[in-house]
Chains A and B, each alone.
Chain A
């Protein structure tokens, strides 16, 4: 049972435009959400995160929005650059003492075209 879902396996966007990557979750106990970016042959790189007590977090070109009632979050990249082309993973965690295992979506492959 996939608790974190990224329903779009791929997305193609023109350079300079906005990229919107979506993520849905089913477990209402999740209280922290993260986005990671992964290039081939490398480990995931942390991008941005958001706590469930917030609905928006912004870091430069990256903004994450959280809609708790819809159990939905999205990552906006503005403006998109060719170097943003990678696989983007949404991950979620819930507080269990010091154990914060991450539950991951399947990823969305973003291609930013020059």
Chain B
């Protein structure tokens, strides 16, 4: 059973650029949640995808968008990057019908200059 994987591990972008982060969910999981963790903070919920549909969204602007594919992998897209978008982006997968325990990938460290 493979765990949650994320790519890339690190990324440096400049203000105004766009970025795409990728996540492969754990085998057997159909739900993917994305979180943003700023330095010294707990993770903040961005949104969740269940069976390819957005299934809940946190307090993030529309320039944060996502996608889930038929194999349940997922992408997080951020447009018009701002300095405050610099953070660790975490992806978590779970089984939608009993999705209490979410299993996390190692994260993507995004730095916006």
Interface residues of A (CB under 8 A from B): 4, 32, 34, 36, 41-46, 49, 89, 91, 93, 96-107
Q: Are B102 and A98 in contact (CB under 8 A)?
A: no
User: Nearest chain-A residue to B101 (Cβ)?
Assistant: A46
User: Which parts of B34-82 form the interface with A (CB within 8 Å)?
Assistant: 35, 40-45, 48, 50, 55-56, 58
Residues of chain B within 8 A (CB-CB) of A102 are: 33, 35, 43, 45, 92, 102
Q: Are B58 and A101 in contact (CB under 8 A)?
A: yes
User: Nearest chain-B residue to A97 (Cβ)?
Assistant: B55
Size band of the interface chain B makes with A: 20 to 34
Q: Are A32 and B100 in contact (CB under 8 A)?
A: yes
**Bound complex: CA A72 to CA B56 (Å):** 26
| A99-B55, A102-B33 known; A34+B41 contact, CB < 8 A | no
B100, B106, B107: the one within 8 Å of A34 (CB): B100
For residue B90, CB closer than 8 A to chain A, the reply is: yes
By Cβ-Cβ distance, the 8 closest A-B pairs, closest first, are: A104-B42, A43-B104, A99-B56, A101-B45, A98-B96, A99-B55, A44-B104, A100-B99
Q: Are B45 and A96 in contact (CB under 8 A)?
A: no
Q: Are B50 and A99 in contact (CB under 8 A)?
A: yes
Residues of chain B within 8 A (CB-CB) of A104 are: 35, 42-44
List 24 interface pairs A-B (beta carbons < 8 Å), by A numbering: A32-B100, A36-B104, A41-B106, A43-B6, A43-B92, A43-B105, A49-B100, A49-B101, A89-B42, A98-B99, A99-B50, A100-B100, A100-B102, A101-B33, A101-B48, A102-B33, A102-B35, A102-B43, A102-B92, A102-B102, A104-B35, A104-B42, A104-B43, A107-B42
Q: Are B40 and A98 in contact (CB under 8 A)?
A: no
For residue B1, CB closer than 8 A to chain A, the reply is: no
